[in-house]
Every structure is written in C-alpha cells, then in structure tokens.
Amino acid sequence: MNRATTYRVLPGFGLSLGYTLAYLSLIVLIPLAAVFLKTFSLSFEQFWAAISAPRVVASYKLSFGASLLAAAINTVFGMMLAWALVRYTFPGKRIVDALVDLPFALPTAVAGIALTALYAPNGWLGQILEPLGIKVAFTPLGVLVALIFIGLPFVVRTVQPVLADLETELEEAAASLGAQRWQTFRLVILPILLPALLTGFALAFARAVGEYGSVIFIAGNIPMVSEITPLMIITKLEQYDYTGATAIACVMLLLSFALLLVINGLQAWTQKRGEKGS
C-alpha cells in the first residue's frame, strides 16, 4: 500500500522550525536577553535611581506621549490619504502615492535636517509660524512633527489594500436604505477598516517610540523639555554608564511591549467581533 506524500517547496516542519528559532534567537532573543542580564547586575536601588531620575522620567513622558499622539494623528489622516488614493483619480496621483513611501527611503538624519531647516525660526515654514506664536523647531511640537512624518506610511500602506478590496456595493446598499454618509462610514466602513487601522496605529507607534535620527535635530535636546528616551540611552553610553543605559532600555522595552500587547488584544477583539457580526 503506497503512502501518499505531500510535496513541499520548503523543508519539513522540524527543520523549518529549527531555522526559525535559531534565526529569531540570534537576531532578537539573545540581544534582548543581554540587555536584561546587564541590567540585573544593578541592585534594585541602583536600578530605580537610574530609571527614575527627573530627566529620564521627562524623556519617558515625551517619547511615549508624542509617539501615541503621532500614531493617533497618523491613523486619522493616513486613512483619509489612503481613501483618496484608492477611491479618487486626480492629476499627480502616482506622484503622491510614491511620496507616501518617502520616509521609508529617506535616511532619518536627512529627514531630521530637512524638517529642522523648514521649521527653524528662519526656515520657510518657521518664519511664517513664528510671528503667530507657534514655535516648532527645538520644542516638543517639533518632536511630534518628526514622528508624524516617519509614521504616516505605516498607516497608509496598511489601510490601502483593505480599502481597495472593500466593495462599493456595500456603501450603495447602505445609501439605498436611507443611511447618511456619516452612518455609512460609522456602521459599514469603519468596522471593516478597524483591524487595519489598529495595525497601522501599532506599527506607527512602534516606529515612533524608538526613533532617533529624524528627531534628534529638530528636538533641540533641551533637558527636561525636548529630550527623548533614545537620546538618554545614547548619553549614558557616551558616559560609559552601560548598566544605566540598559536599565532605561529595559523600561522602554517593557512599556512598549505592554502597549503593543494592549493594541494587539484590542485588534483581536475587533476581529472576533466582526466575525460574529457577519
């Protein structure tokens, strides 16, 4: 009796799993474990002193607060941009579509210098905003602008394929039943887009919270005002305080993981709710 065999392009489960775990360990798990092991050389008092210094706490508030706000702004305007690119035809559409990916291709240091040149008091936009009392460069607002810039493509590219697959017949059916535009968006379109929006939000937040190159120039790095947490880690390393740097990195890692876990849990809940509703 011949046993039916299934041909697979990739190796079997055991070999594939071994490659996966080895690669994941070398790239992710071992470096993260080294960070925690280095931090464990501190006593609890030393660890707490390193992570609770006033400048460090201020950097936490700026990094995580600005990252969350930038991701939220990108979620709204990224969805609007994706909608325009999918549903409308206009002159220069391909150019706009290509420009969305510019933060991916542009070196972060170049982006930071360009934003600083634009929003500095003598820059093209800064000299217009400065008389209005709006100072962007070298303030937390400048940090927010930089994080919005680097996070926008994540939302657009996540939502865009979902919108492309969304059938316009659903909107037409809702309109034929007497639904207004806001009702159609809130009850028909938004539930379908919500998982993709949460994914884009999570990706934009994850990128923003660890961003360094594009922020460091426009932030100004004023203590207690515009210092981000990655800068504090670099500062500790320059002072040869490796344990202090790893302690701050551990806190940043744990907070980021907790926030992403909440976002992913919310995403899974919305998907299950959508499946039950359908």
DSSP letter string, 129-166: HGGGT---TTSHHHHHHHHHHHHHHHHHHHHHHHHHHS
For the chain, domains (ranges, CATH) are 7-40 (no CATH), 44-277 (1.10.3720.10)
pLDDT at 230: 93
pLDDT at 272: 75
pLDDT at 1: 46
* Cβ 140 vs Cβ 221: under 8 Å: no
* Assigned token pair, 223: 């203590």
pLDDT at 11: 59
Indicate the pTM of the whole model: 0.86
* Cβ 231 vs Cβ 214: under 8 Å: no
Dihedral angle sign, alpha carbons of residues 265, 187, 159, 161: positive
The two counts, helices (H) then strands (E), for the chain are: 15, 0
Each residue's pLDDT expressed in tens, for the chain with a length of 278 residues: 455 555 566 556 667 777 788 888 888 888 888 888 888 888 999 999 999 999 999 999 999 999 999 999 999 999 999 999 998 988 999 999 999 999 988 888 899 999 999 999 999 999 999 889 899 999 999 999 999 999 999 999 999 999 988 887 877 788 788 888 888 888 888 888 988 999 899 999 989 998 998 999 999 889 899 999 999 999 999 999 999 999 999 999 898 888 888 887 877 777 777 666 55
Q: Among the residues of 2-139, which ranges form H helices?
A: 13-24, 30-39, 44-51, 54-87, 93-100, 102-105, 108-119, 126-129
Rounded alpha-carbon distances, angstroms, from residue 60 to 222, 245, 253: 14, 14, 12
pLDDT at 15: 74
* Assigned token pair, 231: 């800068």
pLDDT at 13: 66
* Assigned token pair, 1: 């009796």
pLDDT at 28: 81
Residue labelled with tokens 């634009």: 118
Q: What is the DSSP secondary structure assignment for residue 91, as one 8-state letter? A: T
